[in-house]
Structure 1
Amino acid sequence: MRIDLHTHSNVSDGTQPPAVLLAAAKDAALDVLALTDHDSTGGWGEAAAAAREVGVVLVPGMEVSCRTAEGISVHLLSYLHDPSHPGLLEEITKAKDARLSRATRLVERLAEDYPLNWDDVTQHIAPGATVGRPHIADALVAAGIVEDRTEAFRSILSSHSRYYVSHYAPDPILAIELVRAAGGVPVFAHPVASARGRVVADQTFEEMIDAGLLGVEVDHRDNPEQGRVWLRALAARRGLLMTGSSDYHGAGKPNLLGENLTAAHVLARIEELASGSPVIRP
């Protein structure tokens, strides 16, 4: 089976609607796809209907944006949780609102030096989508200020840029506890992707596992090979699930559907551990 457990639609920062994403998964010869939009389950309904139509198994999920006390960004994949769980929903809503406020402030700063305004950005945001820097990057591309998202994030939208604005994100320990309470399976996304920025210390890994972390995304293009070796050793020592995924964003990133895959027995174990939502089968 070909299983890709990390993708995004235009409900967050992907470029394709959920139904188009599922059709693309079918074209990529995937048997199973997880939809894991940032801080949102808004695409689950459309994705489920499309999955039944095209014959691809859908794993409903979400990518929770977190931040440690040291300011290190952590992305937590949640699989098969209950999207209506009060505690998790409240925290996600808080983070989503903070993203919107942050984006508007960031655009205000950019407008001081570039021909860009909030209306330019909204043209790239699907109704109800989780707003993020990628949408601002798309507006910068459309305005001819940068060539693509990659250039935007390396320069103007970098966390080291003078335009950068931080936003609220839950501590990963809290996020793990809420995902588990919602019946979901938490997996640490691209945990050693050092090219993206600082990665968490070994002690933080251990604390996350103690809090209920159940897996690590090992095979991801942003995890260096030495880091993957370390993750496999950690997973073996602490009994963690190991996943592989594309982190596909449509035209938003060069990542290709199915470029990294998850083993069928790992998906089966995720289903066994989850109690919040079911896998959608055609």
Structure 2
Amino acid sequence: MRIDLHAHSTASDGTDSPGALMREAAAAGLDVVAITDHDTTAGWQAAVDSLPAGLTLVRGAELSGRWHGGEPSIGVHLLAYLFDPEYEPLVAELARVRLSRDVRAENVVAMLNADGVGVTLEEVRGYAAGGTVGRPHVARALVGRGLVASMDEAFAPEWLGRRYRLPKADIDVTTAIRLVNEAGGVSVLAHPRAGSRGHVVPDTLIAGMAAAGLWGVEAGHVDHSPEDREHVRALARDLGLRYTGSSDYHGTNKTVRLGAHTTDPAVYVALTTTTTGTPPITT
């Protein structure tokens, strides 16, 4: 089985609609794919409605978490799988983060405008296509206006990488883990050693998250070196966590393709037999 447990659609910052994501997953030869849009379940139903024969869908989300145990605080992303999408405490937290994302977009556009960059909020929201607004949508507006040549350039320090980078209101990471567990799901720490996109998550913090109920860590990821992947796998074994592999696919917003890294079928079986919130879907 080829299993990819981390992919994004236009419900957040991917460029494929949920239905197109399902078709792309089948064309890539996947047996199982997870839809894990940022802080939202908005793409779930459209993905189910478009599921090709023979492909299994794992419904999930990538949660914006933050550890506040030191200075500075550390942003972490949690891949939450097969949870109940109607569990109200979790629903409320996700809604709060999505609102924060929208406010952040407004403030980034205002900063750009103050410096004479004429990007509009309507453009940014247009690129979001009704989904959760993220920094890639601001980046696409910059590319669309010819202000930068590529998405990579848009995230350079002189643009969104530092000068026009603002925080959002994340979920306390231990609270996020608890809420996902209460909703019948499990959480997996996404790309913990991807230093190119943020902080490398310290092993001590991962150990604390494991004690708080974290289920697994993502070892196979395009932003992890072979040494990083082995380090994460060894740490997972020491902490009694599962480890996964996935693409973190975003369509044309990134160059990585579906199935770039995959998850061991035994880990997938453990995932599906542990969760009680919402089952995988197979047509």
State the TM-score, normalized to the length of structure 1: 0.96
**Alignment partner, residue 33 of structure 1:** 33
**Alignment partner, residue 249 of structure 1:** 250
Q: Which blocks of at least 5 consecutive residues in structure 1 are unaligned?
A: none
Distance in 2 between the 1:261 and 1:205 partners? Answer: 21
Give the Å deviation of 1:117: 1.3
Distance in 2 between the 1:123 and 1:227 partners? Answer: 37
Distance in 1 between the 2:173 and 2:226 partners? Answer: 24
Amino acid at match of 1:164: R
Give the Å deviation of 1:56: 1.1
Report matched runs for 1:169-188 at 5 Å. Answer: 169-188=170-189
Given the alignment of the two structures, is residue 222 of structure 1 paired with residue 218 of structure 2, yes or no?
A: no
Distance in 2 between the 1:84 and 1:236 partners? Answer: 33
Distance in 1 between the 2:207 and 2:281 partners? Answer: 32
Distance in 1 between the 2:59 and 2:4 partners? Answer: 12
Give the Å deviation of 1:244: 0.4
Distance in 1 between the 2:188 and 2:124 partners? Answer: 31
Amino acid at match of 1:59: V
RMSD over aligned CA atoms reads 1.1
Distance in 1 between the 2:190 and 2:180 partners? Answer: 14
Distance in 2 between the 1:150 and 1:71 partners? Answer: 25
Distance in 1 between the 2:128 and 2:246 partners? Answer: 25
**Alignment partner, residue 122 of structure 1:** 125
The answer to which of 199-208 and 99-108 deviates more is: 199-208
**Alignment partner, residue 56 of structure 1:** 55
**Alignment partner, residue 274 of structure 2:** 273
Name the % identity: 44
Alignment check: 8 A CA contact 1:23 1:54 kept:
no
Report matched runs for 1:90-169 at 5 Å. Answer: 90-113=92-115, 114-127=117-130, 129-155=131-157, 156-158=159-161, 160-161=162-163, 163-169=164-170
State the TM-score, normalized to the length of structure 2: 0.96
Give the Å deviation of 1:232: 1.2
Amino acid at match of 1:58: L
Distance in 2 between the 1:15 and 1:54 partners? Answer: 23
Alignment check: 8 A CA contact 1:124 1:135 kept:
yes
Give the Å deviation of 1:49: 1.5
Q: Which blocks of at least 5 consecutive residues in structure 2 are unaligned?
A: none
**Alignment partner, residue 75 of structure 2:** 73
Is the partner of 1:192 in helix, strand or coil?
A: coil
Give the Å deviation of 1:164: 2.0
**Alignment partner, residue 196 of structure 1:** 197
**Alignment partner, residue 22 of structure 1:** 22
Alignment check: 8 A CA contact 1:31 1:57 kept:
yes
**Alignment partner, residue 12 of structure 1:** 12
Amino acid at match of 1:119: E
**Alignment partner, residue 86 of structure 1:** 88
Give the Å deviation of 1:250: 0.5
Distance in 2 between the 1:250 and 1:54 partners? Answer: 22
Is the partner of 2:62 in helix, strand or coil?
A: strand
Amino acid at match of 2:149: E
User: What is the count of residue pairs matched by the alignment?
Assistant: 278
Give the Å deviation of 1:54: 4.0
Amino acid at match of 2:31: D
